[in-house]
């Protein structure tokens, strides 16, 4: 009986630990992962109540235009990590409009797959070809690409070396509300508000199956975060402190 009780207590402790990691991962990211991987941006300085909204995997189509409309209405700048192979889903002026509206464009590779599985040669080729596609899509707006987010979020030392040599910095995030798993809006709202912190990087997704939830989440959390004295900035402003 004592050994059974011990195993039950261990199982309970592990369950509670997993719940903490799943529901409040910003603590783990800020105090463990970020110090372990200093070349990777997980969050900005905690000196100001600033949050950077980032949106991955776009453009998705008409939902991406609705996203720009909403961000303009909310007066919120965002950093959009676009996939080169998805550029044809939006109108020809989407990237240029996003830049004109004050948003930042990040590099999210050519397709929605795990970038860490590519060979070094494949990675370099896709990095350069996607950058060229994004630059063409941005015309006539100038585009300076220096933020990179790998497909799937996984990275390795060789990837980091290539990015450093080509002028990119890898950016992940500290508030990921599991939106790709399609939880209810109430959970998304609770998660973002519970995990928000000064210097946070929020990760949402512009995909056909997630864009409606992304729009609803932003409508719900941005006014509340403003009431909590948070301001919204691009990744550049977050790391530069202005």
Spell out the domains of the chain, with CATH numbers in brackets: 24-240 (3.20.20.370)
Look up residue 41 and give its two tokens: 């941006």
- Mean pLDDT across the stretch 220-231? 98
Least trusted range by pLDDT, from 18-27, 37-46, 83-92, 223-232: 18-27
Closest by CA to 82, choosing from 66, 103, 106, 104, is 106
What is this structure's pTM?
Answer: 0.90
- pLDDT of 25 > 90? The answer is no
- Mean pLDDT across the stretch 85-102? 94
- Mean pLDDT across the stretch 57-75? 97
- pLDDT of 14 > 70? The answer is no
Given this model, what pLDDT does residue 18 score?
Answer: 41
- pLDDT of 82 > 90? The answer is yes
SS3 content of the chain, % helix, strand, coil (to 5): 55, 15, 30
pLDDT in tens, 191-222: 999 999 999 999 999 999 999 999 999 999 99
H or E element, residue 105: strand 104-107
Closest by CA to 68, choosing from 82, 85, 84, is 82
Query: HSE on the CB side for 126, CA within 13 Å?
Result: 24
Query: HSE on the CB side for 95, CA within 13 Å?
Result: 27
pLDDT in tens, 166-195: 999 999 999 999 999 999 999 999 999 999
Q: What percent of the chain has pLDDT over 70?
A: 89
């Amino acid at each position: 009986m004592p050994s059974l009780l011990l195993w039950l207590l261990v199982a309970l402790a592990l369950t509670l630990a997993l719940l903490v990691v799943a529901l409040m991962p910003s603590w783990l990211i800020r105090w463990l992962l970020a110090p372990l991987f200093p070349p990777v941006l997980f969050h900005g300085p905690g000196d100001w109540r600033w949050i950077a909204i980032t949106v991955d995997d776009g453009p998705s189509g008409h939902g991406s235009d609705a996203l720009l409309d909403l961000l303009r209405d909310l007066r919120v700048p965002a950093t959009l990590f676009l996939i080169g192979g998805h550029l044809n889903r939006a109108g020809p002026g989407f990237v240029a409009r996003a830049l004109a509206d004050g948003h930042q464009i990040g590099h999210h590779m050519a397709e929605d797959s795990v970038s860490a599985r590519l060979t070094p040669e494949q990675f370099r080729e896709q990095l350069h070809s996607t950058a060229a596609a994004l630059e063409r899509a941005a015309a006539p707006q100038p585009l300076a690409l220096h933020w990179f987010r790998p497909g799937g979020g996984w990275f390795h030392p060789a990837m980091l070396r290539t990015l450093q040599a080509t002028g990119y910095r890898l950016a992940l995030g500290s508030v990921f509300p599991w939106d790709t798993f399609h939880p209810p809006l109430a959970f998304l709202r609770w998660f973002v508000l519970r995990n928000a912190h000064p210097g946070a990087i929020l990760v949402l997704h512009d995909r056909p199956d997630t864009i409606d939830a992304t729009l609803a989440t932003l409508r719900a959390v941005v006014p509340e975060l403003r009431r909590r004295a948070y301001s919204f900035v691009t990744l550049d402003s977050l790391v530069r402190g202005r």
